[in-house]
Amino acid sequence: MRLVAGIAEKMASNQKQIAISEFFEKNKHFLGFDSLPRSIITAVKEAVDNSLDACEEARILPDIHIKISKIDSKKDILELVSEDNGPGIPQTSIEKVFGQLLFGSRFHAIRQSRGQQGIGITGVVMYSQLTTGKSTHVLSKIASEPTATSVKIGLDTRKNKAVKSEQNRIIWENEDLTLKEHGLRVTTRMKGKYQRGRQSVFQYLRMTSIVNPHAEITFIDPDGERFHWPRVTERLPTKVDSIKPHPHGIELGQLQRMCRDSKDSRLSVFLRQNFSGVSMRAAKELCEAAELDVSVKPKSMKPDDVRALLEAFQGERMVSGKIVKLLAPPTTCLSPIEEMLIKKGLSKTIDSKFIATMTRAPSVSHGNPFQVEVGLIFGEGMAGDKHVEVLRFANRVPLMYQQGGCLLTKAIESIDWRQYGLEQAGGRGVPKGPAAILVHLASTNVQFTSEAKEALSDNSNVFEETRKAMLEMGRGLRKHLEKKKKMAKTREKFELINDILPAIAEKSASILDRPVPDLSGSITRIMSAVICNETTEWNKETKQTNVSITLFNYTSRARSYSVLVNWPEKAGGEMVGNERGGRKEAMGIWGWKIETLEPGTQAIIEYSLSNLEKGDWTETDVFFRGSQDVIGATKLDEKMLEEIRRLEDAFKEVDDVVSDDGADGASSFDPGVVDGDSGQTTLFGGDV
């Protein structure tokens, strides 16, 4: 017994508290440093994410330079230099930002953000020190100071504290010998292996440029080859606001801590001031459902009282047989890329004629607002016999690993892409074809499968939103391919007739010594079709997008049509030079009445779109009302148009309503349906 007791005491005496930095030092694979090729990608990712976040918060258009050099090829030692034009870091904060794990400003903020834990760049410093024994050199310049701070940073992993050396002030000049106004440069050496391919630094930066079209990115690889992804918009992402936690996303332990730390004198005040979506009415009803007095102090609540309040939050307790209705959390905490900018980002890296994009309406999952965006690009420059390229993103950050285990990939695989023109063995898995599929999740709380943030874990609400968006993209692709196929057949027939008939007529007329007859009537009877030809082109002189739609009547009788088009009204585009007039049918939909189109005649609709940039609008969808089918246009779905109008009116009513208690300015919803369909209706391959 004494021996056993002695062993127990010895084991207890050997137990020590582990510093978080020491834990990650021994488990660096948690942070993405589990292989040499992956380590350099992770380091670049953390540096670029920090640069983008800093620039966006300071409302500066990012200009980022990345350079990787081989220092010792035999020992796989690389040097990474990352430089930006951000606001810089004050001298007093450098050692905390680069030399202390779990130090950050965004962990407790509920808003869309690339990083939150405060691990990223400090993890790079730690890995550099662990593999090469070298400190990381930081050069920081803020606008209010004439000189820059130069310091070498290491990390004391036992104390989770920075180790500084060689700190001084220097003049920081650019390559053209002009004084740099503000920015940050990080130089670090580490063990890593640079490689090319789908999982490479090049691919990461390429993907980053797609979802950050406002950023200018330059990359110099170890061979000295230079790559440049230019900025394609001057518009910075929408600035996001931090919101309060929503009752549907609260856990019991979190609620207990909030009650314990509260200084509010009344429970009703505590609920209204510490949670989003709780109005005065809802606060009283929550207290009633939990059988608690509105005047009770949150700090004095017992564990059973806190549990009862949580059950009221989750709809497990009701008032008069009804679940307490809460207001939806505000969506100002999200900053989606938006459809136009996704198109521009895809266009600058992949050459294709067809691009469809969609930004779904914001939705909520467990009290956390989120928004799904998708893009599909099809056509030239991509292999048709390989799997489509899947581009996954979370809060504008590329996800490059664990594609098969990612929720976004599973949503893509759940679609039968064969009915939309792509190959897919058995209707399962990632489809094959000359296409790329982009999926972006913007959320206040992205659930990853691991600390390395490489794939999204399962969430039924995000899955359904992504699936619905994919189905809409698929329908858009199918319409494009069908339109292209019909037009190709019609054009081939028309060209054949126009080549053969005039030759026969001319030869026959010369033999019979008679005049060449007018063949327009004959061509019309043979074609027997109404054809729509649409062109959308950028005019570099006027800086406008010119749209021309021609309706040819190659039938034997007069026709009457209404022609409708989609146009980027939501993105700020203005329709100019529209001599035919017409009228607005709904948001982003314009229509014209073509009264009479005689046989063998044509009607032309021309207009221009202003307030857009090159590449913003490359294809116009044409729809029609009328009895005779139109090759090159799609018959209008009247029920869908009415639904769009209804939703548009509903959104206007919501905007006009001022809440009777003013809680966050959001509309009320039932907890039982908050995680369901967003109710968004699309008709023209995009968010209408």
In the chain, which residues fall in CATH 3.30.230.10?
Answer: 339-469
Domain(s) labelled CATH 3.30.565.10 in the chain stretch across: 20-194
Interval 516-536: pLDDT, tens: 877 666 666 676 788 888 889
Q: Which of 134, 130, 172 is nearest to 153 (CA)?
A: 134
Q: Which residue has the higher pLDDT, 107 or 201?
A: 201
The segment(s) of the chain belonging to CATH 2.60.40.1170 are: 520-636
Residue 30: its pLDDT value, please?
A: 58
- 626-653 burial by CB neighbour count: b if 16+ within 10 A, else e? beeebbbbbebeeeebebbeebeeeeee
pLDDT at position 81 is 93
Q: Which of 183-187, 559-563, 662-666 has the lowest mean pLDDT?
A: 662-666
pLDDT at 679 over 60: no
CATH number of the domain at 520-636, please?
A: 2.60.40.1170
* Cα(358)–Cα(360) distance, integer angstroms: 6
Please, are residues 111 and 333 in contact by the beta-carbon 8 Å criterion? yes
Arch. (CATH architecture) of 339-469: 2-Layer Sandwich (3.30)
pLDDT digit string (tens) for 462-477?
899 999 988 888 888 8
Average pLDDT of every residue of the chain:
80
For 349-380, what is each residue's pLDDT tens digit? Answer: 676 667 888 888 888 888 788 889 998 888 76
Fold category of 20-194 in CATH: Heat Shock Protein 90 (3.30.565)
The pLDDT, as a whole number, for residue 663 is 42
Residue range 576-589: mean pLDDT, rounded: 90
Asked if 120 and 43 touch (Cβ cutoff 8 Å), the reply is no
With bands split at pLDDT 50, 70 and 90, how would you rate the model's confidence at 673?
Answer: very low
Mean pLDDT of the region 12-39: 61
Taking the mean position of all CA atoms in its chain, how far away is CA 400?
15
Per-residue model confidence (pLDDT) at position 687? 31
With b meaning 16 or more CB within 10 Å and e meaning fewer, what string describes 316-335? ebebeeebbbbbbbbbbbbb
The residue ranking higher by pLDDT, 586 or 687, is 586
Nearest to 605 by CA among 545, 544, 531, 548: 548
Residue 35: count of CB within 10 angstroms of its CB: 13
Confidence of residue 665 (pLDDT cuts 50, 70, 90): very low
| pLDDT of 444 strictly over 80 | yes
Q: Does residue 177 have a pLDDT over 70?
A: no
Return the pLDDT at 238.
Answer: 82
Burial class (CB in 10 A: 0-12, 13-18, 19+), 668: middle
- Give Cα separations from 235 to 219, 338, 341, 572 (angstroms): 23, 11, 9, 13
pTM: 0.72
